[in-house]
Structure 1
Amino acid sequence: MAIWSQAMMNERLVRYADLIPCRTAFLDTRTPGSTEKENFTIIGAGVSESPEQHVHLTERHGFNIGAARQPFGCVNSQHSHDTAEVFIIHSGRWRLLFGPNKEDGSLEIGPGDVCSVPIHMFRGFEKVDQGTGFLFTILGEDDPGKVTWAPAVFEAAADFGLKLAKGGRLIDTTSGTAELQDVEMEQGLDADGMAHLKTPSAEKLAQCVVAAGDIVANPGSPLAAEGVEEAGIIVPRATGDGFAPGPITGWWPQNFNLRQLTLQTGAYVPTHTRAEPEVIMIQDGTLEVSWADGAIIMGAGDLLTVPVGLPHAFRNTASVPLNAFVVRGGDSPAAPVFA
């Protein structure tokens, strides 16, 4: 059995306070209303278009995790993805905007809410209340590809000197050093391409969001015990650890499960192992993750990826409840094996 030292596990921990932002990550960086957004790539290379983007953890998980931090009124422009994109709201209120020109409706979500936006449709998002807000994102697959921007985003970016090369590389034409004649530029979608990126009906989109107050614990979870609850949020199909499909299943590939883990004060999950990647993101409260050679105390906004097969335990050591989101790799995670 591999030995995981305290130092090795600390390298798998990304604390909120240590997140390294990029403010030049995407084509809309200079577009008015988008200049103050901060993008984070936490696990995997993500979809950033900038070589300045810092990647915290490069280990392949079968999915990517990133984040965004934005002040009131700041907008992330209309774009589409080829793999799953999930929003987990950590703080603040946010409005998701649908359609290439924001014409297909919107959805407002707040702390603890989750939305998995279907692939091949345009979406953007803006921070709608005062102060700065933070959200986590999950992208499907190890290589989630590149974003597809709405035509208006290309036009606005060009006005501020930014263009996009084929393959998703940002080029700054204001620097005077870009050799554009040797670069094949991304032109955006034509009419036929746009026709394939249609917004589903409001009824279909309602199947893609779960409000914090509607999350229901699964009493059949192997982790369930006194003071311990685990709820399914994204469960594409019935799983090996006793979860039925839903409430979000998706009609497009997800390739991971999303759960909520709640521990009351002093509650404990005994030592167990997992057969798939497990990433823990703390929504609020405090969680101790322990293993044979050490322990880590996590707080709000912190993220930890647990090595596959590592025997580990959870405990809430604080005087308030612990709420965490947990990403488990694959559509059907296996049952944990308890020591």
Structure 2
Amino acid sequence: MSAINPSAWTLEAMRERLVRYADLQACRTAFIDTRTPGSTEKENFTIIGPGVSESPDQHVHIREKHGFNIGGARQPFGCVNSQHSHDTAEVFVVHTGHWRLHFGPNKEDGSLDIGPGDVASVPIHMFRGFSKLDQGKGFLWMPLGQDDPGKVTWAPAVFKAAEDHGLKLAKGGKLIDTTSGNYELKEVELETPPSEAALEQLKTPSLEQLERCVVRAEQMVANPQSPLAGEGVEEAGVIVPQETPDHFPAGPIAGWWPHDFNLRRLTLQTGAYVPLHARKEVEVLFVQSGTVEVGWKNGDGEESLLMGAGDTLSMPVGVQHSFRNTSSAPAVLFVVRGTEQPQMPVFASAPIEELAGASA
């Protein structure tokens, strides 16, 4: 993702990079299990990047490459997302609701429960699924690794259940509806369930290992060395694969697989302010709770917009921007920063040559 002249970022241009929760466009036919009983009510969202959807009907909100993807899932009580494996990082940020992560091709390898504000990063090359535990709908905000996260590998039982309801999967991840009459299976190479040898390569780590891949909201500890830390402002590392130039130690989720990004939690008390600063990597903001005013430098002036709970904003590289909590309650944001080695931010008070370097 390349930097663009900061004067190009008008309010209208920045609104194109803002996806409000109320404006999310769901796909109800994203995957092969879309007709499987227990899974029919799930909604899939592709917020940034192509995602892993198998349906041409999937709406992509922001197509620009970021080095990672952002997706989402919304499900009612009891709804199940079937067992599958990913080739790149899959992270669950729980916005609302209580959820159970199921492990193993047939859910035989245990489970972990997560709730609002918790974060789980499930290792690559293992089967996982998830279900909604409590009443009402809940929403998961889901960063995925790399610009192209590939397609998921489904557990054998998922193929059988889908076939019983008229759905097959072509090589490359395209759904085929055998009930529509508009297909020729003899002209299509079908995806097949993973072989026994493949299943051996997708074994579940121990529950003890998997528990180290979950951070509860109350376990997220502010880093006093964060360059954003100040009066009423705290930044906690959540997924930090390795020690970073902006003074974050590895952990609490480091992982033994690549993530391609950092995940932080930023908390602003009432009236707290993070002054104008630029970054050398793209960052994506997600408001977990509260409201925050995001300001940015546009030529010789400044613009701003207000974000509320569930909103997502992609902040361009090199644009000087600020955060302010103008409400009477704390604002909590999750922030994805591109690369596993985010650099120090450059504040507007820095020498002009540093500012130029931040936007290069």
- TM-score of the pair, normalised by structure 2: 0.94
Q: Which residue of 1 aligns with 2:48?
A: 43
Alpha-carbon separation, structure 2, partners of 1:202 and 1:102: 13
Pairing partner for 1:70 from 71, 75, 95: 75
**SS of corresponding position for 1:204:** helix
**SS of corresponding position for 1:260:** strand
Deviation at 1:294, TM superposition (A): 1.2
Which residues in structure 2 correspond to 1:1-339 (within 5 Å)? Answer: 1-3=5-7, 4-292=9-297, 293-339=302-348
**SS of corresponding position for 2:218:** helix
Amino acid at match of 1:160: H
Alpha-carbon separation, structure 2, partners of 1:60 and 1:212: 29
Deviation at 1:291, TM superposition (A): 1.2
Deviation at 1:2, TM superposition (A): 3.0
Amino acid at match of 1:9: M
- Map Cα deviations across residues 209-248 of structure 1 (whole Å, 9 max, x no partner): 0000100000000000000000000000010100000000
Deviation at 1:122, TM superposition (A): 0.2
**SS of corresponding position for 2:46:** strand
Deviation at 1:166, TM superposition (A): 0.2
Amino acid at match of 2:321: H
Alpha-carbon separation, structure 1, partners of 2:208 and 2:108: 16
- Map Cα deviations across residues 68-107 of structure 1 (whole Å, 9 max, x no partner): 0000000000000000000000000000000000000000
Alpha-carbon separation, structure 1, partners of 2:259 and 2:29: 28
Equivalent pairs, count: 339
Alpha-carbon separation, structure 1, partners of 2:303 and 2:199: 52
Amino acid at match of 1:256: F
Amino acid at match of 2:192: Q
- Map Cα deviations across residues 86-135 of structure 1 (whole Å, 9 max, x no partner): 00000000000000000000000000000000000000000000111001
Alpha-carbon separation, structure 2, partners of 1:76 and 1:119: 17
**SS of corresponding position for 1:205:** helix
Structure 2 alignment gaps of length 5 or more = 349-360
**SS of corresponding position for 2:158:** helix
Amino acid at match of 1:313: S
Amino acid at match of 2:105: P
Alpha-carbon separation, structure 2, partners of 1:317 and 1:254: 33
- Map Cα deviations across residues 246-305 of structure 1 (whole Å, 9 max, x no partner): 000000001100000000000000000000010000000000000134111000000000
Alpha-carbon separation, structure 2, partners of 1:290 and 1:138: 24
**SS of corresponding position for 2:336:** strand
Amino acid at match of 1:130: Q
Amino acid at match of 1:295: S
- Map Cα deviations across residues 34-54 of structure 1 (whole Å, 9 max, x no partner): 000000000000000000000
Alpha-carbon separation, structure 1, partners of 2:207 and 2:185: 42
Alpha-carbon separation, structure 1, partners of 2:209 and 2:101: 15
Amino acid at match of 1:305: S
**SS of corresponding position for 1:283:** strand
Amino acid at match of 1:175: S
Amino acid at match of 1:303: T
Identity rate of aligned residues, in percent? 70
Alpha-carbon separation, structure 2, partners of 1:56 and 1:159: 33
Amino acid at match of 1:134: F
Output the aligned Cα RMSD: 0.5
Structure 1 alignment gaps of length 5 or more = none
**SS of corresponding position for 1:67:** strand
